[in-house]
């Protein structure tokens, strides 16, 4: 197994606490069997998200001290703008405090009611921003993405036949832009190939439809291209990134992922008129154009983080750490989504807990068991997150997949932590029939998984 060791050493430590099983029983009881309600300091290994949870480098921390908090024209903005332009190549760089604001600004400015935004798979906040602005968010990823057992090197690819059919049926005026999420988070952190990006670009060019990237995990996507796509083995990551974005008209980015920071984001784009419109709205809802929603020091940390994330030793370690956790689980027969993506492992809860019917939330039951047994926090991506009542029949509708996502924060946990996670899950798998299903006792009308309360079903 390719097991590159950490390309960093530890200068500052943050203690994490082991709780007793008794404590965890009480905590999960009080939390209504919902891990969102557990105080973070009672978690041993927190795999809830890889977003905003990165460890910054000494270089980034040093950058914070150089924060220029001038309202207008902060020197950190110019550094940020130059760095983003250097990597992404876009003419206009509009800072925002996180990704969803970039999406909000883009779609509230450009989308007209009844228009369609295709994507490989929209992330939740992208979909919500499209729909809130009266648009329709369509997922056009290749069919292979929906088979959790199928090994495919670029499961995030856009299905070009579906896209062309859509454009022909709807006409190009109903599609103000096409998005591509790299890597495709909602499909398991799967990469998109350069060939697919190029072909999508060529197709859209014929119809004069702009292409935008949701670039949150762009560096991880570049690493997969380097590893898996013919002709890229000897190219530096930055060059691969440059090629990707040269095919686009713009991007939205949550720097909380591959920006290696705890808060930050931006829009990059080439269209002067659109940039001006977005900037006017930015001033209304986020801030002056040279800071968006960020402090000067935050922009400095993003600039430095974006340079560090291109480092190949870092990316090799990062991608391997996630992959090796997957391998340790797979070797023990634990059912996971394959191939392993860039930022997370997904446990297949239906196969893990075949004795729990879907209406008893097997993925949530597994999430709860993981905390109770090992103090590990994951997130349910299944019936609790996506299930709903059909408005016409009143019947429960459940999603195809019941998954538990273990998202790995960047540069935070050591290999030994990953061994702990793998061993804990393997132990749980061996005793899986002891895990019981759950029943909802409280739910809110929207985004119920954040606040839901559940109880164990007896027997």
Can you give the binding site for ligand P71, defined by CB under 6 A? 49, 51, 98-100, 123-126, 181, 185, 214, 216, 254, 256, 265, 407
In whole angstroms, how close is the CB of 424 to ligand P71 at the nearest point?
21
Measure the CA angle with vertex 28, ends 26 and 30; round to 5°: 65
Residues 6+ apart with CB under 8 A from 167: 175, 203, 207, 209
Question: How far apart are CB 156 and ligand P71 at their closest, in Å?
Answer: 11
Pick between residue 216 and residue 428 the one whose CB is nearest to ligand P71: 216
Q: How far is the CB of 130 from ligand P71 (least distance, A)?
A: 12
Q: Find the helix or strand (DSSP H, E) in which 27 lies.
A: helix 21-30
How far apart are alpha carbons 245 and 241 in whole angstroms? 6
Closer residue to ligand P71 in complex, CB, 7/287: 287
| Nearer Cβ to ligand P71 (306/435) | 306
Smallest gap from residue 344 Cβ to ligand P71 (A): 8
Please say which residue, 265 or 383, places its beta carbon nearer to ligand P71. Answer: 265
Q: C-alpha 390: how far from its chain's center?
A: 28
Which ranges of 293-342 does DSSP label H, i.e. alpha helix? Answer: 296-308, 312-331
Q: Determine the Cα–Cα distance for residues 414 and 321; give it in Å rounded to an integer.
A: 9
Smaller CB separation from ligand P71, 186 or 360: 186
Q: Are strands 265-269 and 250-254 parallel, antiparallel or unpaired?
A: antiparallel
Q: Pick the closer one to ligand P71 by CB: 200 or 254.
A: 254
Q: Whole-number minimum distance, CB 298 to ligand P71, in Å?
A: 13
Which run of H or E residues covers position 377? strand 376-377
Cβ distance to ligand P71 smaller for residue 254 or 360: 254
CB 376 within 8 A of CB 44: yes
Which residue, 97 or 226, is less far from ligand P71 as judged by CB?
A: 97
State in angstroms the smallest separation of the CB of 180 from ligand P71.
11
Which residues face 404 on adjacent strands?
347, 380
User: Angle CA(159)–CA(123)–CA(337) in degrees, nearest 5?
Assistant: 70
| Closest CB 231 distance from ligand P71, rounded Å | 27
- Measured from the CB atom, the residue of 126 and 157 that comes closer to ligand P71 is 126
Give the C-alpha separation, 70 to 49, whole Å: 32
Least Å distance between CB 52 and ligand P71? 7
Residue nearest to ligand P71 (CB): 99
Is residue 333 a contact partner of residue 429, using CB atoms and an 8 Å limit?
yes
Strands (E), 72-146: 92-96, 116-119, 136-139
How far CA 355 is from CA of 54, 156, 340, 365, 433, in Å, comes to 37, 31, 25, 12, 7
H/E stretch holding 166: helix 160-170
Q: Select 49 or 83, whichever has its Cβ closest to ligand P71.
A: 49
Task: Tell me the closest approach of the beta carbon of residue 442 to ligand P71, in angstroms.
Answer: 20
CB 371, CB 359: distance < 8 Å: no
CB of 319 to ligand P71, least distance (A): 17
């Amino acid at each position: 197994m390719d097991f590159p060791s950490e390309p960093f050493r530890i200068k500052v430590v943050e203690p994490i606490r082991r709780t007793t099983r008794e404590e965890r029983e009480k905590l999960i009881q009080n939390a209504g069997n919902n891990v969102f309600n557990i105080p973070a300091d009672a978690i041993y290994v927190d795999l809830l998200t890889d977003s905003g949870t990165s460890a910054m480098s000494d270089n980034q921390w040093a950058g914070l001290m150089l924060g220029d908090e001038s309202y207008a024209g902060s020197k950190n903005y110019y550094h940020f703008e130059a760095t983003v332009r250097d990597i992404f190549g876009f003419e206009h760089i509009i800072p925002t405090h996180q990704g969803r604001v970039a999406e909000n600004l883009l779609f509230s400015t450009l989308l007209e009611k009844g228009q369609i935004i295709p994507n490989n798979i929209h992330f939740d906040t992208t979909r919500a921003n499209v729909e809130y602005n009266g648009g329709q968010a369509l997922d056009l990823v290749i069919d292979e993405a929906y088979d959790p057992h199928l090994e495919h090197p670029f499961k995030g690819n856009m299905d070009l036949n579906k896209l062309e059919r859509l454009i022909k049926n709807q006409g190009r005026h109903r599609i103000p832009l096409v998005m591509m999420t790299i890597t495709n988070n909602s499909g398991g952190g799967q990469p998109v190939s350069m060939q697919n990006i190029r072909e999508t670009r060529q197709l859209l060019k014929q119809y004069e439809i702009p292409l935008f990237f949701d670039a949150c995990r762009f560096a991880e996507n570049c690493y997969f291209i380097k590893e898996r796509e013919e002709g890229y083995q000897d190219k530096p990551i930055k060059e691969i990134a440059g090629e990707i974005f040269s095919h686009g008209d713009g991007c939205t980015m949550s720097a909380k992922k591959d920006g290696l920071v705890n808060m930050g984001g931006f829009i990059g784009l080439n269209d002067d008129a659109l940039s001006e419109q977005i900037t006017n709205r930015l001033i209304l809802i986020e801030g002056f154009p040279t800071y968006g929603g960020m402090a000067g020091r935050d922009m400095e940390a993003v600039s430095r983080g974006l340079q560090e994330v291109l480092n190949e030793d870092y990316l090799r370690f990062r991608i391997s750490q996630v992959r090796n956790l997957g391998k340790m689980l797979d070797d023990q027969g634990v059912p996971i989504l394959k191939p392993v993506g860039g930022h997370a492992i997904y446990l297949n809860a239906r196969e893990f807990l075949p004795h729990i019917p879907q209406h008893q939330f097997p993925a949530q039951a597994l999430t709860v068991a993981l905390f109770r047994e090992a103090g590990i926090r994951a997130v349910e991506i299944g019936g609790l997150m996506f299930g709903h009542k059909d408005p016409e029949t009143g019947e429960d509708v459940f999603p195809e997949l019941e998954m538990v996502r273990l998202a790995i924060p960047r540069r935070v946990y050591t290999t030994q932590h990953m061994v702990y996670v793998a061993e804990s899950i393997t132990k749980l798998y061996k005793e899986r029939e002891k895990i019981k299903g759950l029943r909802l006792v409280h739910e809110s009308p929207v985004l119920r998984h954040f606040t839901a309360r559940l109880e164990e079903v007896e027997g």
